[in-house]
Amino acid sequence: MLSDRLPDFPWDLLEPIAKIARSHPAGLIDLSVGTPVDSVAEVITKAASLNLDAHAYGLSAGSKGLIAAQTNWLIKTTGVVEENFNTIASIGSKEAVSLMPLLLGLGSNSVVVIPEIAYPTYEVGAKVVQAEVIRADHPDLVSAKKVDLVWLNSPGNPTGAIADIETLKAWIMFARKHNAVVVCDECYLTLDWEASASGQPPVSILDKRVNNGDLSNILALHSLSKRSSMAGYRAAAISGSKPLIEKILLARKHLGLISSSVTQAASVAAWGDEDHAETQKQIYAKRRATMQAAFLNAGFEIKESSAGLYLWMTRNEDGWESAAWLAQFGILVAPGSFYGPKGKNFIRAALTETDERINQISERLM
């Protein structure tokens, strides 16, 4: 069975601590998963509701309107050279992450590089095809003779770390030398907090300053789950090198990987509207400031976290101990070891609770 090859589902391991947190008399403050709590904007739900009569099969690539909307957003947001790339829909970016090694035809002789501290699904996707996994944050630290796929994640989950232009360039050169594909998961690209305030905004791997307008071997993922609070719709984009996208699309057509027509219609509205995304971003910025103050007061150090949807924190003890300590106050976070051995002494707290709950954190931790 495929499941035999896969690790325990991290959030199942959290259940004993979750049980303690849920039993708090004032209720659970769940910062563990990162699932959006805010309603979807009307401009999006309206587009979905006008397209409920979805009797026909949709297109695997995405409708013409969706491809145009993704293209416009990418040109505006990533600095990609117009007409130089292709973009298709995926059923959320998790699906693209977990299936990418399969779609690229990798197997048990393949090597996949993932970040030292990483979203767990990069490793899962490699395990699906029985590829070897190497953790590294810079190409100079990879000694393997042959690499087939490199995952980058900037801004990163869980740390909020940003890959600078030089690092992105180094990975592109490395990928080309190995004839590998480099995919940058950029689903938090627009949640940039202090990173932009300090003059170092996150840069897309599609940006012409990074790739000089040559997208060979390069892909990027972008998602509507957090930008537009649309996690339940399952909507994301796979973009980059034209020939690579063409091959991936052919495989996706055979596999029946088609985003629902209702989601596609809603996504056209979402990619095309910046107002709702800016409103959502401001909501997260406010929650983030409240959480920062509360956790700093409670003795946590916040590391990295200058972009993205999470606070990456430590009390210089095992993250499981910190998580258990917080659970007695009804606050549930993810232990850093979920994301790799180097995350052991950290916890990750998501900005995705209601204002009411987030405002309770500091008084509970007094």
From the CB of 71, what's the least distance to ligand PLP, in Å?
19
Q: Closer CB to ligand PLP, residue 18 or residue 187?
A: 187
Q: Which two tokens stand for residue 150?
A: 């490199």
Q: Report the C-alpha gap between 266 and 77 in whole angstroms.
A: 19
Closest CA to 268 of 70, 75, 91: 70
Residues 92, 234: contact at Cβ < 8 Å? Answer: yes
Q: Rule CB under 6 A: choose which of 41, 129, 187, 191 binds ligand PLP.
A: 187
Q: Rule CB under 6 A: choose which of 67, 210, 218, 236 binds ligand PLP.
A: 236
From the CB of 235, what's the least distance to ligand PLP, in Å?
7
Q: Closer CB to ligand PLP, residue 223 or residue 259?
A: 223
Q: Report the C-alpha gap between 315 and 348 in whole angstroms.
A: 12
Q: Rule CB under 6 A: choose which of 36, 58, 62, 92 binds ligand PLP.
A: 92
Q: Is the dihedral of CA 83, 85, 91, 93 positive or negative?
A: negative
191 binds ligand PLP (CB under 6 A): no
Q: Rule CB under 6 A: choose which of 78, 93, 204, 263 binds ligand PLP.
A: 93
Q: Closer CB to ligand PLP, residue 77 or residue 360?
A: 77
Q: Which two tokens stand for residue 94?
A: 């998790």
Of 23-31, 51-59, 90-98, 299-307, the segment contacting ligand PLP by CB under 6 A is 90-98
Q: Closer CB to ligand PLP, residue 252 or residue 315?
A: 252
3 state SS of 150: strand
Q: Closer CB to ligand PLP, residue 187 or residue 361?
A: 187
Q: Rule CB under 6 A: choose which of 119, 171, 193, 271 binds ligand PLP.
A: 119
Q: Report the C-alpha gap between 364 and 366 in whole angstroms.
A: 6
Q: Closer CB to ligand PLP, residue 183 or residue 298?
A: 183
Q: Report the C-alpha gap between 48 and 283 in whole angstroms.
A: 24
Q: Closer CB to ligand PLP, residue 187 or residue 294?
A: 187
From the CB of 156, what's the least distance to ligand PLP, in Å?
7
223 binds ligand PLP (CB under 6 A): yes
Query: Total binding residues for ligand PLP by CB under 6 A?
Result: 14
Q: Rule CB under 6 A: choose which of 32, 34, 237, 240 binds ligand PLP.
A: 34
Q: Report the C-alpha gap between 61 and 251 in whole angstroms.
A: 11
Q: How many residues does the chain have?
A: 366
225 binds ligand PLP (CB under 6 A): yes
Residue 273 sits at φ, ψ, to 5 deg, of -125, 120
Q: Rule CB under 6 A: choose which of 70, 77, 87, 157 binds ligand PLP.
A: 157
Q: Report the C-alpha gap between 193 and 198 in whole angstroms.
A: 9
Q: Cα 211 to the chain's mean position, in Å?
A: 22
Q: Closer CB to ligand PLP, residue 58 or residue 298?
A: 58
Cα–Cα–Cα angle for 94, 97, 100, nearest 5°?
Answer: 140
Q: Report the C-alpha gap between 205 and 182 in whole angstroms.
A: 9
Q: Report the C-alpha gap between 19 and 262 in whole angstroms.
A: 36
Q: Closer CB to ligand PLP, residue 238 or residue 298?
A: 238
Alpha-carbon dihedral angle through residues 280, 286, 287, 288, given to the nearest 10 degrees = 100
231 binds ligand PLP (CB under 6 A): yes
Q: Closer CB to ligand PLP, residue 137 or residue 185?
A: 185
In which residue are the tokens 């690209």 written?
Answer: 189
> For the window 4-33, what string marks contact with ligand PLP as x by the rule CB under 6 A?
------------------------------
In which residue are the tokens 């006008």 written?
Answer: 50
From the CB of 270, what's the least distance to ligand PLP, in Å?
12
Q: Report the C-alpha gap between 187 and 184 in whole angstroms.
A: 9
153 binds ligand PLP (CB under 6 A): yes
**Residues in contact with ligand PLP by the rule CB under 6 A:** 34, 92-94, 97, 119, 153, 157, 185, 187, 223, 225, 231, 236
